[in-house]
Chains A and B, each alone.
Chain A
């Protein structure tokens, strides 16, 4: 894990002190709200419906147990005893008082955390594959590169006031678990025919008002050019991106209007000017960052130690189900990747109490080298668990409510805070998630449905990533009444696709039943029990699902 040097540490401490001064000046009237607003936003502090909201960065989703404990302490001391993990691997406090925020930043700085660039028209938190470093299908660990990009983009003077916000995602695996196709820049580690490792750049993807699957503008960028090529992309965007219309200011609009080929040419032209300058990475640069992400001291375990197969056959059905759905193959024999489901009937998706955070830190230290990863599907991951300890871990996770065996299933709902909290939302999303979680609580029924991702957003800004849910729900406001658009067929994985609206918007009373009808239709339409929902939808299109939802409603 990356460890701050004295420059990093000083930077976050000075930032906390600087914001403390700004808060004092706002409270005593020396700063107006108009003057203060951009300053608070640069420190991740938003004004929401009922309170301030503070967004804290978690670079590529990676946390130490010490950081998790500090989040628990902050939640208790300064908030209402819980935090919310977001779809960009960040964490949010929903109730901080303004005068406490500088102290929160100081407490975070002590454990090498901050809220820098978690808001505003700048480069935001760099996200990555939650299985980075341990995935069996990985070409190279993407985290050293994500960290290089984090350092390059932090306080980059040229990119502090971009036309709009800007989001990077990086993956090193063959399977995309980082949703790179729907980011402003998605970077995939690739290998050419000679075995040389580089990066494919996907630029101009995104969700929100205008969802776009990013085109690939460069199939192979040498690894030494990672920063200079990123700089070239940002320079072209900064120069040509629209600043006259907020809704057309994201890079996806520029790439669409310019054309991907012409945009790529402009980037190559810019890159030619800077490729051999100071941004070129040396082998020593890369090696220095790689050292921070060296594997933990794994024990050498023979294949005979493998317990996953046995666990799946265990007479303890609850344990076997959990292993089957929440545990993933690790690249090191004898170890496993364990997903902690934050999706239960008890709390909104992504919410974790301070007590649960402390418990997670504890199990991370005892079972997984003290590391925890936040996923963009609002779950947590312990990346390095000995298979022989899975049963003991399962029992402990069950006690804190994180062992629901539903990862990747319908009740593993991705959901933004919606109109219960958010100043931008048009409709509530959490009650819809909770209703659907209750409807599909029966595990046998849930497992029968196979992999089925449900994403809910409370407005067109799409923080719940509804465009890429196999089933997506978008909250809208119709004359003061919350309504929901149902869309089907989205995916953020390989062969990414955008969901299509099924029909007229539904009321809060109708949406849960509509999803049930979609699911029932799928069970009747699938070619075999092994055909996932997405394949059935892609094979048949929306018509039979539309009939199932709307004809039934009319009847």
Chain B
């Protein structure tokens, strides 16, 4: 089943951010708010566009739910969620969850 998520990059360091349930920004894909209808996600995207003091260039992407967890349809969004493999290997972070990865990469 398709859901929609709003994402952007943080202004401070460019790291990946997802719009969360409380209209805060989170680095964890699992904490991102998911909309079953694209129109609802677009409405939140319009709100996100006014958050330029925190983030840049927000947009909406598509996920499917597998065991209740969001899985991006595109390779691009999967890699955004997981972090770059070369850096993860260099930093000894390969194999961590996306949450642990995001925490490590965003310091």
Interface residues of A (CB under 8 A from B): 26-27, 29, 32-33, 47-52, 80, 82, 94-95, 97-99, 347-348, 351, 419-421, 425-428, 430-431, 477, 480-482
Beyond A47-B57, A82-B90, A430-B85, whether A27 also contacts B75 by CB under 8 A is no
A33 to nearest B CB, angstroms? 5
Beyond A32-B52, A33-B52, A47-B57, whether A98 also contacts B14 by CB under 8 A is yes
Instruction: Find the B residue at minimum CB distance from A97.
Output: B13
Beyond A29-B53, A33-B57, A80-B91, whether A47 also contacts B14 by CB under 8 A is yes
Instruction: Find the A residue at minimum CB distance from B88.
Output: A420
Q: A33-B57, A52-B13, A426-B76 are in contact. List 14 more A-B contacts (CB 8 A).
A: A33-B56, A50-B80, A50-B83, A51-B9, A80-B87, A98-B12, A98-B14, A347-B86, A347-B90, A426-B75, A428-B75, A428-B79, A428-B85, A477-B74
Query: How distant is the Cα of A47 from the Cα of B58 in the complex, in angstroms?
Result: 12
Among A50, A95, A419, A420, which residue has the most Cβ atoms of chain B within 10 A?
Answer: A50
A-B contact pairs, 17 of them (CB 8 A): A27-B12, A33-B11, A47-B57, A48-B14, A49-B16, A49-B76, A50-B14, A50-B80, A51-B14, A98-B13, A98-B14, A419-B76, A419-B79, A425-B76, A431-B85, A477-B74, A477-B76
B15 on interface, CB distance cutoff 8 Å = yes
Instruction: Find the A residue at minimum CB distance from B75.
Output: A482
Among B76, B80, B91, which residue has the most Cβ atoms of chain A within 10 A?
Answer: B76
B73 on interface, CB distance cutoff 8 Å = yes
Instruction: Find the A residue at minimum CB distance from B80.
Output: A49
Partner of A97, one of B9, B12, B84, B85: B12
B105 on interface, CB distance cutoff 8 Å = yes
B19 to nearest A CB, angstroms? 16
Cβ-defined contact, A94 with B79, below 8 A: no
Cβ-defined contact, A29 with B73, below 8 A: no
Instruction: Find the B residue at minimum CB distance from A478.
Output: B75
Q: How would residues 22 to 56 of chain B score, 1 for a CB under 8 Å from any chain A CB and 0 otherwise?
A: 00000000000000000000000000000011001
Cβ-defined contact, B15 with A419, below 8 A: no
Cβ-closest 8 pairs across A and B: A420-B84, A51-B14, A52-B14, A97-B13, A348-B86, A480-B73, A480-B74, A33-B56
Interface residues of B (CB under 8 A from A): 9, 11-16, 52-53, 56-57, 73-76, 79-80, 83-87, 90-91, 105
Beyond A33-B56, A49-B79, whether A98 also contacts B11 by CB under 8 A is yes
Complex interface: chain A residues within 8 A of B75 (CB): 419, 426-428, 477, 480-482
Complex interface: chain B residues within 8 A of A351 (CB): 86
Complex interface: chain B residues within 8 A of A481 (CB): 75
Complex interface: chain A residues within 8 A of B74 (CB): 477, 480
B71 to nearest A CB, angstroms? 10
Complex interface: chain B residues within 8 A of A480 (CB): 73-75
A359 to nearest B CB, angstroms? 18
